[in-house]
């Protein structure tokens, strides 16, 4: 008898991850303007100290998405592995690493950003300069792992599913579009273009990623 426990677990987690991405997209759009790029220390920290609620919610949702995403990667990759085991395994390992970085980075933000913001707000000019010179607090400042690697994995598994007919074609097309949305975040970070973040949050976070993850999750749950 085939063991479907990975498909069931991955399916449930994928549905939940789709919902979490919807929350991430909505909370990003609701963030104060000065909190939409955490690398701008002189703007982010005073704003966060004054209004931490929405950003803190987003930190927690990102942390949970990172943990849950690992199960999703394992299950989805297994469902298309027969199309090309090499690509499926390599990109799935990159995606697991990407989701792990998201989780660790988010828990780190939860633990340290409040104190960092308070120290910046109450510190003298020297303290503020030192905090500013410390650079981006993120472990993945431009999103190469948390968004780039995960986006590459979404693209590859979607193309593999398209090749072997494992998924409906429309689902694979949504996956390809979702991968593009992931990479918009990386490009937006590298080029410092907030408009690309907004497009990725609105189109990718609120529309594409929830559809792809929830639909993929439903298919995994139905696996025989």
What is the tens place of the pLDDT at every residue in 180-208? 999 999 998 888 888 888 888 888 888 99
In 7-76, where do the E strands start and end? none
Residue 143 region by backbone torsions, left for phi larger than 0, else alpha for psi between -120 and 50, else beta: left
Pair of tokens at residue 67 = 């943990």
pLDDT for the residue 126: 83
Burial class (CB in 10 A: 0-12, 13-18, 19+), 9: middle
Flag whether the pTM goes above 0.75.
yes
Closest-CA residue to 199 (of 210, 187, 190, 211): 187
Closest-CA residue to 139 (of 38, 209, 47): 38
7-36: pLDDT as tens digits: 999 999 999 999 999 999 999 989 998 988
């Amino acid at each position: 008898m085939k063991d479907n426990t990975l498909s069931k677990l991955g399916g449930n987690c994928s549905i939940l991850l789709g919902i979490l991405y919807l929350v991430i997209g909505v909370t990003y759009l609701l963030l104060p303007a000065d909190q939409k790029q955490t690398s701008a220390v002189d703007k982010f920290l005073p704003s966060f100290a004054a209004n931490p609620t929405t950003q803190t919610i987003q930190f927690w949702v990102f942390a949970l998405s990172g943990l849950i995403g690992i199960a999703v990667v394992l299950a989805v990759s297994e469902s298309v592995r027969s199309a090309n085991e090499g690509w499926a395994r390599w990109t799935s390992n990159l995606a697991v690493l990407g989701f792990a970085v998201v989780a660790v980075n988010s828990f780190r933000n939860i633990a340290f950003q409040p104190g960092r913001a308070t120290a910046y707000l109450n510190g003298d000019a020297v303290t503020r300069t030192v905090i500013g010179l410390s650079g981006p607090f993120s472990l993945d400042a431009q999103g190469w792992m948390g968004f780039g690697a995960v986006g590459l994995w979404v693209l590859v598994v979607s193309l593999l599913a398209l090749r072997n007919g494992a998924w409906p074609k429309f689902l694979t097309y949504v996956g390809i579009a979702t991968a593009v949305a992931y990479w918009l975040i990386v490009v937006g970070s590298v080029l410092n273009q907030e408009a690309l973040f907004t497009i990725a949050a609105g189109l990718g976070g609120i529309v594409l990623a929830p559809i792809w993850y929830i639909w993929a999750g439903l298919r995994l749950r139905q696996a025989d």
